[in-house]
Structure 1
Amino acid sequence: MDLDAHGGNKRVFQRLGGGGGGGGHSTVDTRQKVCFHWRAGKCNRSPCPYMHRELPFPAAAAASNGAPTKRFTGGSTWGRVGNNNNGSSSSNHNRVIRRPEKVCTYWIQGNCGYGDKCKFLHSWSLGDGFRLLTQLEGHQKSVSGIALPSGSDKLYTGSKDETVRVWDCASGQCMGVINLGGEVSCMINEGPWIFVGIPNIVKAWNTQTNTDLSLTGPVGHVYAMAVGNDLLFAGTQDGAILAWKFNAATNGFEPAASLIGHNMSVVSLVVGANRLYSGSMDHSIRVWNLENLQCIQTLTEHTSVVMSLLCWEQFLLSCSLDQTIKVWVATESGNLEVTYTHKEEHVKIENGIFGMPMNLNVNPLIWMSTLLGVLTLCGMPDSEAKPVLLSACNDNSVRFYDLPAFTERGKIYAKQEIRSIQLGPGGLFFTGDGTGQVKVWQWSKEPTSASF
């Protein structure tokens, strides 16, 4: 996108210097050479004999005025099964090539001397319609879960630093720190209950009755949880999905079932349309009937780890380390098929791709962070009730897409990758990143109070 964080103006990528073609510098345009010191952001020559702007790309001269290039080209709805158009048609030859957006390192450190003339972003977001309200500091490692239990005025955040922090929603102050003795891999809430996955245990807290339970049974890390049909499901490192049923008489949870089918860790779960959907490191999605807990379909179109699942109206959305977001719809037979595939771009890869460690003592999330792809999906309405998809990638960004067109409308940036996104009331949403920082955002047409 070409929008900045101040209401939709185009970003300034070009800082024109003294060699812009005025008198006495006619050789600059003839030589067409860009100053490499300017590119590095540290040219101090005035006038400089070289250009302080990028040369136009040949394709840019023939392109239109910056229209979004990544959009759903199959029409205005996800209606045609098997449409996997990722924008790879011949029209790509006329696509405008833009410099990747990047947050200024010196601005992060508080000492950028270029100010508004800096060619990099001085903001944690790019786009309009949403804004950063506040930042919550305290966690020492990656934030892996965010929860807002109903009837509570507290926000709960879980982290790899083996703690859960409790924040007052009115003041933004940390009200307490709960030490768990194991790193938090996931956290969800259902009604007044908060469920926290740590190695070999699921912790369950009732914020209204102060009930504190430990559910045993998982082997290794608990990577994902979901609630449906009065059952709590937990996806575990050994590939099983454990289920517990709530017993109102004892105010506790009793083991109900173990769903076996995946042959590697289950890292994503979601419930919708009387089905449980599970995504795994074995690259598959399994569909389970909530009534009899039997697997009724296995989806194998992804080619890497299925990191996140989202049920939205009649659609299932899935994302993977294969760099794709897939949209699934039920056919007349009742089976799910891909109706659209969106491919993310500009995601990173670090230290190469390694084989999957089979030792359960090795945390697969460390291995997964070396791969490229999409980490988390979250869907929500904007301030005008239009559907927006949030897609967190491991290039430390979250992309915003208008649905169903998949038109990009903005981005959020972080120092490290964002793995947790949680919706809140009144257009609020929360993100947690790898540094332990939690940011509070809000959709809004007009500026509002900074409290949450």
Structure 2
Amino acid sequence: MDIDGSKRIFRRLGPSQGDNGSSKQQQKVCFHWRAGRCDRFPCPFLHRELAAPPPQAQGSLTNGTASSKRSHGYSDDYRGGPRRNTNFNNNWGRTPAHGGGNNARAVTKTEKICAYWLQGSCKFGDSCRFLHSWTTGNCFSLLTTLEGHQKVVSGIALPSGSDKLYSGSSDKTVRVWDCQSGQCAGAVNLNGEVGCMLSEGPWIFVGLTNLVKAWNAQTAADLNLTGPVGQVYSLVVGNDMLFAGTKDGILAWKFNVATNCFEPAASLKGHSHHVVSLVVGANRLYSGSMDNTIRVWSLETLQCLQILTDHTSVVMSFLCWDQFLLSCSLDKTVKVWVANESGNLEVTYTHQEEHGVLALCGMHDAEAKPVLLCSCNDNTVRVYDLPSFSERGKIFSKEAIRCIEIGPGGLFFTGDESGQVRVWKWLAETTTAAA
């Protein structure tokens, strides 16, 4: 009786594994069984629900069983956003966070460097949705990285007539790099952190704490310019004078050919906080400060002509381009200034960034078109066409890039907070198109 009962139950569950399922009726579920009143034996219809769809169509975990967490949106919670397809195998755990699995569709790149690519261990290649490059835009290429500094690279200089590149850092050293081999040719240990560097002709100027050091790359002359108070963060040359931004304002020196030294020339007062940026253009000296203002000075009289108060945070950098003055600030803006009929500067355009702006650099690309390099404190440099501000591409870095310097032949250099100096080269449009 028990055996007969077992057979009855088994047969009502449907065909055995040995059954080839030739009867189409056996693929239907018994209507009366569903209603709980089937009394036929043997019943030609199934006394069970149809098998669930394959895992690929339903969505499953790796063992092929339906996930009880799906109705609670756990896949969305885990990824921090909506699922990109219905296959849990491609959206759960490590795979989607690092490349999207074996999806055949085009991968939408996320503007973030792939951590596995940095380690040389990414297995997803072109299908990885993170970047396997330090740039976007394909308009320039990374030639080499110069390693050696232990802290922020705060200045880069290329004196004329020299085959050496100089870089200064807050690690209290200036490193000398051979431009042919890319190797470090020497390091100069200083008594203070390097706040900035400037090259003018054969001279290299280094801003230190309470001091500006001057070296001549041709004659090996080594001079100390005293007078600054606090760290010197900015240096510029104009009207045969060297200007340094200090805690107390701006100091100026003039070179005396007869004595072969720099002599104090003037002290420009007015800023209420540290002067961190300087630029010269149109017979004017422009200074930016931690007091959030820009002061315009006459290079002839060294008198303040105008005070600009449009920025709401530290004025970090300047660029003189054509008849315009560009300024950037930690207030996340780049402002474009132009002189009105009375000769005073006023803002004609404000470009908004998502993060504070650290440095500006203007140069021409391989096709002689003017471009703006705009370093932000999210570890990127945005590259824009001028005057449209249309984005050409981005440069990514491990840490924020604090200085950008132009070199010969389409080269430019960046120094970041990790201590790296990188050498870049603009690509011609024909090369970019072919790539």
TM over 0.5: yes
2:136 to 117, 122, 126: 126
**Deviation for aligned residue 1:409:** 1.1
How do 1:42-81 and structure 2 match up within 5 A? 48=88
- The secondary structure found in structure 2 opposite 1:217 is strand
The one-letter code of the counterpart of 1:162 is: K
Q: 1:189 aligns to what?
A: 199
**Deviation for aligned residue 1:327:** 0.2
**Deviation for aligned residue 1:47:** 5.8
CA distance in structure 2 between the partners assigned to 1:206 and 1:305 by the alignment: 32
Asked whether the equivalents of residues 145 and 185 of structure 1 are also in contact (C-alpha less than 8 Å), the reply is yes
In the alignment, structure 1 residue 438 sits paired with structure 2 residue 421 = yes
In the TM superposition, what whole-angstrom CA distance separates every residue of 1:186-238 from its partner, at most 9, and x where no partner exists?
001101100000100000001111110000000110010100000000001x2
2:391 to 408, 414, 418: 408
Report the number of matched residues: 353
CA distance in structure 2 between the partners assigned to 1:130 and 1:99 by the alignment: 19
**Deviation for aligned residue 1:117:** 2.1
- The secondary structure found in structure 2 opposite 1:102 is strand
Runs of 4+ in 1 over 6 A off after TM superposition: 30-34
2:270 to 258, 261, 269: 261
CA distance in structure 2 between the partners assigned to 1:420 and 1:166 by the alignment: 17
In the alignment, structure 1 residue 143 sits paired with structure 2 residue 126 = no
Asked whether the equivalents of residues 373 and 384 of structure 2 are also in contact (C-alpha less than 8 Å), the reply is yes
The one-letter code of the counterpart of 1:331 is: N
How do 1:341-360 and structure 2 match up within 5 A? 341-345=350-354, 347=355
In the alignment, structure 1 residue 168 sits paired with structure 2 residue 151 = no
Q: 2:118 aligns to what?
A: 108
Determine which structure has the larger helix proportion and give its number. Answer: 2
In the alignment, structure 1 residue 298 sits paired with structure 2 residue 281 = no
**Deviation for aligned residue 1:118:** 1.8
Q: With the length of structure 1 as denominator, give the TM-score of the two structures.
A: 0.74
Q: 1:375 aligns to what?
A: 358
Asked whether the equivalents of residues 229 and 248 of structure 2 are also in contact (C-alpha less than 8 Å), the reply is no
CA distance in structure 2 between the partners assigned to 1:338 and 1:39 by the alignment: 43
The one-letter code of the counterpart of 2:317 is: S
The one-letter code of the counterpart of 2:225 is: L
The one-letter code of the counterpart of 1:286 is: R
Identify if the C-alpha distance between structure 1 residues 337 and 163 changes in structure 2 by more than 3 Å, giving closer, same or farther: same
CA-atom RMSD in angstroms: 2.6
**Deviation for aligned residue 1:109:** 2.5
Q: With the length of structure 2 as denominator, give the TM-score of the two structures.
A: 0.77
Q: 1:393 aligns to what?
A: 376
1:418 to 386, 392, 401: 401
CA distance in structure 2 between the partners assigned to 1:389 and 1:32 by the alignment: 48
**Runs of 5+ consecutive residues of structure 2 not aligned to the other structure:** 1-52, 60-69, 98-107
How do 1:303-382 and structure 2 match up within 5 A? 303-345=312-354, 347=355, 373-382=356-365
In the alignment, structure 1 residue 239 sits paired with structure 2 residue 222 = no
CA distance in structure 2 between the partners assigned to 1:434 and 1:34 by the alignment: 38
**Runs of 5+ consecutive residues of structure 1 not aligned to the other structure:** 1-21, 55-97, 348-372
* Identity percentage of aligned residues: 67
**Deviation for aligned residue 1:115:** 2.8
Asked whether the equivalents of residues 33 and 50 of structure 1 are also in contact (C-alpha less than 8 Å), the reply is no
- The secondary structure found in structure 2 opposite 1:219 is strand
2:293 to 240, 265, 284: 284
In the TM superposition, what whole-angstrom CA distance separates every residue of 1:302-329 from its partner, at most 9, and x where no partner exists?
0000000111111000000000000000
Q: Which has the higher contact order (CA 8 A, sep 6+)?
A: 1
CA distance in structure 2 between the partners assigned to 1:285 and 1:438 by the alignment: 30
- The secondary structure found in structure 1 opposite 2:111 is coil
CA distance in structure 2 between the partners assigned to 1:100 and 1:344 by the alignment: 19
Identify if the C-alpha distance between structure 1 residues 49 and 210 changes in structure 2 by more than 3 Å, giving closer, same or farther: closer
